[in-house]
Amino acid sequence: MRRYVLVRLANGLIVLWAALSLSFLVLHLVPGDPVSIMLRSAGGGDPVGVDRAQADALRAELGLDRPLYAQYADFVSRALTLDFGTSFGTGDEVAAMLGRALPSTLELATASLLLTAVLGVAAALAATLAPWAPLRNAVLSGTVAGISLPSFWTAILLIQVFSFGLGWFPAYGDSDTSRLVLPAIALALPSAGVLAQLLAKGLRMALAEPYVRTARAKGAGRLRTVWTHAFRNASIPALTMLGMMIGNILAGAIITETVFARAGIGRLTADAIADQDFPVIRAIIFLAGALYVVVNLAVDLIYPKVDPRIVLQPA
């Protein structure tokens, strides 16, 4: 067990290191060097009039005049202490920028993850167990719609209906909890659709298993059979996708936070992409990768709790 965790952790670290190295290399493959990007954004987007001496001074200050391997070693060792340098655009510490943006995104991600779980489980149960076929079909169509609708459009629809139409929730900002409702819904819908479909499929397969018939024959009620026998087994595929779903929620926040004008990591990402602010982009990619590795490790450790037949073995 401990060996398994260590092996997986080592694996995750290798993948993270590879992601880090890739993002380092990528910066040096970019046409146009970071110094001219920085001077351009400092000079209000005007590329002409960049002073050569000024550029060289900045290059030396950033250590960009040193050999590539030295820069790489420096970059990796700094990243290990979560030091991602300073932003090209604002000159702030990247770590501090992320720290400022994190609470807003954390709040949004937690709310939408909870909503995803509630909506997804409810829809899956309704789609397999509702006693009325049209209702089951409607729920299933709903899950398909959740996956197929572009989230930036559903976000706008939500604003149109619930802010401008009914006036229930404020449309923009992140200053209080009432402003959390609409973005959380917009962000949760696609992942709830995926979760519901995975669970519904799992439930349908589990309900066809002999152990369900046995449980029913021995007198277990319908609800009990579904909840304690079928649902547990149905949740394994959904659990496998958890890491990907959390990653997608983080990526979806880029769109949601832009539409709802929330000052979180997603908004920071969108701005960084627009300004080619590579230190910020690298840090966010590293963060997303680390989150994925950690969540997947946690999921692996949960498997045997959900299904005791699963034994963890280092590959």
Partner 1 sequence: MSADIDRSSPMTLTTEQDPRQPGRPPAPPAPAAPADPGQEQTHGRAARLRAALGTLAAHPGLLLAVLYLALILAWTLAPSLFAGTDPLRTDPAASLTPPGADHWFGTDNLGRDLYTRVVHGTRTSLTAALIAVSLSLLAGTVLGVLSGYLGGWVDQTLMRCVEVLIVIPGLLLSLAVVSILGFGVTNVAIAVGISGIPAFARVIRAEVLRIRSSVYFRAAVTSGTRTPVILLRHVLPNASQPVLVLAALEIGGAVLSVSALSFLGYGAAPPAPELGAMVSQGRDYISTAWWLTTFPGLAIALIVLCANRIGRALERTGVR
Enumerate residues 27-56 that contact partner 1 by CB under 8 A. Answer: 29-30
Which listed residue (2, 48, 164, 315) binds partner 1 by CB under 8 A? Answer: 164
- The CB-side HSE value for 97 (13 A sphere, CA atoms) comes to 25
**Residue closer to partner 1, measured from CB, 141 or 175:** 141
Q: Shortest gap between Cβ of 262 and partner 1 (angstroms)?
A: 15
**Residue closer to partner 1, measured from CB, 2 or 31:** 31
The residue behind tokens 């669970």 is: 199
* Cβ burial, residue 236 (10 Å; 0-12/13-18/19+): middle
**Residue closest to 206 by CA, chosen among 131, 139, 124, 144:** 124
**Residue closer to partner 1, measured from CB, 69 or 164:** 164
- The CB-side HSE value for 125 (13 A sphere, CA atoms) comes to 14
**Residue closer to partner 1, measured from CB, 42 or 149:** 149
Enumerate residues 1-20 that contact partner 1 by CB under 8 A. Answer: 14-16, 18-19
Asked if 302 interacts with partner 1 (CB under 8 A), we say no
Asked if 152 interacts with partner 1 (CB under 8 A), we say yes
Structure tokens at 121: 């489980």
Q: Shortest gap between Cβ of 292 and partner 1 (angstroms)?
A: 5
Enumerate residues 203-262 that contact partner 1 by CB under 8 A. Answer: 204-205, 207-208, 212-213, 216-217, 222, 225-226, 230, 244, 247-248, 250-252, 254-255, 258-259
Asked if 136 interacts with partner 1 (CB under 8 A), we say yes
Which listed residue (151, 191, 233, 235) binds partner 1 by CB under 8 A? Answer: 151
> What single-letter amino acid sits at 19?
A
